[in-house]
C-alpha cells in the first residue's frame, strides 16, 4: 500500500508511554505456560516519557526509518531487512504492505534505557498506520482492490488496544530471534499502574488486567461525598527512576534466563518471583510501600543470584543506597545497563533522591529522570 498520497494531505502522529516493571520475563510464554498453575504475573507502571511516531510521505516503493540513537535507514520496501537494528520497525511497515512512508520515532526517554522503547514504538506505529488507513477511507482516496481486501481481512478499523498490543508482540517475536514478552506493549497501549496475569486463553495467549491505581482528581467528589482518605495519595511520591548512563542490550541476559529455564535450572527462583510479584502488586494496591520496598529488594536479589551482571557498577551502588534508606530498587526490563527504579514511603523516596543524585552525578550521562505515572495509553495527535 502506497501511503505517500495519504500522508501528503497530512502527517499522522501517535504517541505512547514507556514503562518500569517488576516480575518481567514471566510475560514470555516460555515461562508462563509451564508455570501456569501458579498464575504468573508482571507488574508495570507507564511513565510520561512518551514515544511519538510520525508518518510522513516518502518516495514511492521506499521506506525510511529515523530514530534518535540510531542511524537513519532507507530501503526499498520489498527488500527491507528485518535483522536490521530497526528491523522491527520495518517489519511493522511491511505488515501493512507499506511503502512511500518516512517513519520518524522520537522518545523523551534515553536511548536503549530498558524502558520498553522499541516495543512501545511498534504499538504507536500500528496505531498511526490504522489512523492513516482510516483517513484514506474517510477521504475517499482510491485504494487498490488488493489493499481493500487486505484491510478487511485484518479488521484494522476495529482494532482495540488489546489487539494492537498482541499484533505488536507477534511482529516483534517473529523478527527478534529471542523469545519476547508482552508487558511493554500493554503498558504502552493502556497506560497506568497494572498487574498483568498471563495464561493460555480460548483463542491463544491471553492476559488479565488488574488496574491497581485509579487516577484521582482531588477536587472531584464521589457519589459518597469527598474522595476517601485512602484514595488521596499520589503514587508519584512513592517512586523514583534513574538512568545509569550505560545503554542496555537485553538479549544476552534474557537468553541466559531462557536457556537456564529450558535446562530445568532455577525453576524454584522463578516460582518465588511469581509469589513476590503477587504480593508486591497487592502492597501497591493497599499503599503499603514499606512492604513493597522489601519485596522489590527480594526480587532483585533473586535476579542477582541468577545473573550478577544484571546490575552494572552504578546500578549496584544505587541498589545498596536504596536498601540503606528503606527503599526497594530494581533494574528495568532485563537490566544490564539502562535504568533503575525505586519504591518506598514518601519520606524515604525523598531522602533517596538526594542519595541517588550523589551517585549519578559522578557518572557521565547518568541522571535522575523527572517522570511521572502516565494514565493514558495510546494518543493520536
The structural domain count of the chain equals 2
pTM over 0.85: yes
Q: What is the tens place of the pLDDT at every residue in 187-198?
A: 999 999 999 999
Whether residue 228 is predicted with pLDDT greater than 50 in this model: the reply is no
pLDDT at 223: 41
Residues 70 and 187 occupy one common structural domain: yes
> For residue 139, what pLDDT band results from cuts at 50, 70 and 90?
confident
> For residue 141, what pLDDT band results from cuts at 50, 70 and 90?
confident
Percent pLDDT > 90 in the chain is: 78
Q: What is the tens place of the pLDDT at every residue in 255-274?
A: 899 999 999 999 999 999 99
Cell of 14: 501517535
Q: Which of 78-82, 150-154, 243-247 has the highest mean pLDDT?
A: 78-82
Q: List the helix and strand counts (H, then E) for the chain.
A: 12, 14
pLDDT at 226: 42
* List of residues 6+ apart from 265 with CB closer than 8 A: none
215 domain residue, yes or no: no
pLDDT at 381: 82
> For residue 229, what pLDDT band results from cuts at 50, 70 and 90?
very low
Q: 341 vs 177, which has greater pLDDT?
A: 341
216 domain residue, yes or no: no
CB atoms closer than 10 angstroms to residue 232: 10
Cα 171 to Cα 323: distance, rounded to the nearest angstrom: 39
Residues 261 and 328 occupy one common structural domain: yes
Identify the helix (H) or strand (E) that includes residue 9: helix 4-9
Residue 123's CATH number: 3.30.230.10
The parent domain of residue 261 ranges over: 221-368
Residues 277 and 201 occupy one common structural domain: no
pLDDT at 231: 47
Residues 110 and 237 occupy one common structural domain: no
Residues 191 and 331 occupy one common structural domain: no
Whether residue 27 is predicted with pLDDT greater than 70 in this model: the reply is yes
Q: What is the tens place of the pLDDT at every residue in 357-378?
A: 999 999 988 999 999 999 999 9
What three-state secondary structure class fits 196?
strand
Residue 238's CATH number: 3.30.70.890
Residues 116 and 43 occupy one common structural domain: yes
Residues 276 and 195 occupy one common structural domain: no
Range 239-263 average pLDDT: 86
Cα 201 to Cα 213: distance, rounded to the nearest angstrom: 26
Range 323-333 average pLDDT: 97
Per the listing, cell 494492537 goes with 164
Residues 52 and 111 occupy one common structural domain: yes
* Ordered strands of the 239-243 beta sheet: 328-331, 339-343, 239-243, 367-368
214 domain residue, yes or no: no
Q: 233 vs 146, which has greater pLDDT?
A: 146
Amino acid at each position: 500500500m502506497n501511503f505517500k498520497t495519504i500522508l501528503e494531505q497530512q502527517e499522522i502522529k501517535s504517541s505512547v508511554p514507556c514503562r518500569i516493571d517488576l516480575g518481567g520475563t514471566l510475560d514470555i510464554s516460555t515461562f508462563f505456560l509451564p508455570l501456569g498453575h501458579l498464575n504468573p504475573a508482571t507488574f508495570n507502571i507507564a511513565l510520561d516519557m512518551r514515544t511519538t511516531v510520525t508518518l510522513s510521505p516518502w518516495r514511492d516503493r521506499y521506506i525510511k526509518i529515523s530514530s534518535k540513537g540510531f542511524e537513519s535507514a532507507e530501503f526499498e520496501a520489498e527488500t527491507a531487512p528485518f535483522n536490521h537494528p530497526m528491523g522491527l520497525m520495518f517489519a511493522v511497515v511491511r505488515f501493512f504492505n507499506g511503502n512511500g512512508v518516512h517513519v520518524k520515532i522520537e522518545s523523551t526517554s534515553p536511548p536503549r534505557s530498558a524502558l520498553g522503547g522499541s516495543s512501545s514504538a511498534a504499538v504507536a506505529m500500528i496505531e498511526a498506520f490504522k489512523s492513516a488507513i482510516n483517513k484514506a477511507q474517510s477521504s475517499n482516496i482510491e485504494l487498490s482492490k488488493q489493499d481493500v481486501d487486505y484491510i478487511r481481512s485484518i479488521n484494522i478499523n476495529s482494532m482495540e488496544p488489546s489487539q494492537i498490543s498482541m499484533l505488536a508482540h507477534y511482529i516483534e517475536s517473529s523478527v527478534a530471534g529471542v523469545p519476547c514478552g508482552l508487558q511493554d506493549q500493554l503498558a504502552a497501549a493502556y497506560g497506568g499502574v497494572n498487574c498483568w496475569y498471563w495464561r493460555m486463553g480460548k483463542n491463544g495467549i491471553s492476559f488479565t488486567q488488574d488496574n491497581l491505581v485509579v487516577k484521582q482528581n482531588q477536587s472531584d467528589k464521589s457519589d459518597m461525598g469527598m474522595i476517601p482518605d485512602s484514595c488521596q495519595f499520589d503514587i508519584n511520591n512513592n517512586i523514583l527512576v534513574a538512568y545509569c548512563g550505560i545503554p542496555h542490550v537485553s538479549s544476552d541476559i534474557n537468553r541466559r534466563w531462557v536457556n537456564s529455564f529450558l535446562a530445568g535450572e532455577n525453576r524454584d527462583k522463578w516460582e518465588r518471583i511469581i509469589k513476590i510479584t503477587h504480593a508486591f502488586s497487592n502492597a501497591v494496591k493497599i499503599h503499603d510501600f514499606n512492604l513493597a520496598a522489601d519485596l522489590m529488594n527480594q526480587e532483585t536479589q533473586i535476579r542477582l543470584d541468577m545473573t550478577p551482571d544484571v546490575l552494572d557498577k552504578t546500578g549496584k551502588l544505587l541498589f545498596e543506597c536504596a536498601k540503606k534508606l528503606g527503599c526497594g530498587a530494581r533494574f528495568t526490563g532485563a537490566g544490564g545497563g539502562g535504568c533503575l527504579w525505586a519504591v518506598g514511603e514518601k519520606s524515604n523516596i525523598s531522602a533517596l533522591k538526594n542519595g541517588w543524585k550523589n551517585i549519578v552525578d559522578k557518572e557521565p550521562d547518568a541522571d535522575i529522570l523527572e517522570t511521572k505515572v502516565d494514565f493514558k495509553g495510546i494518543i493520536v495527535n
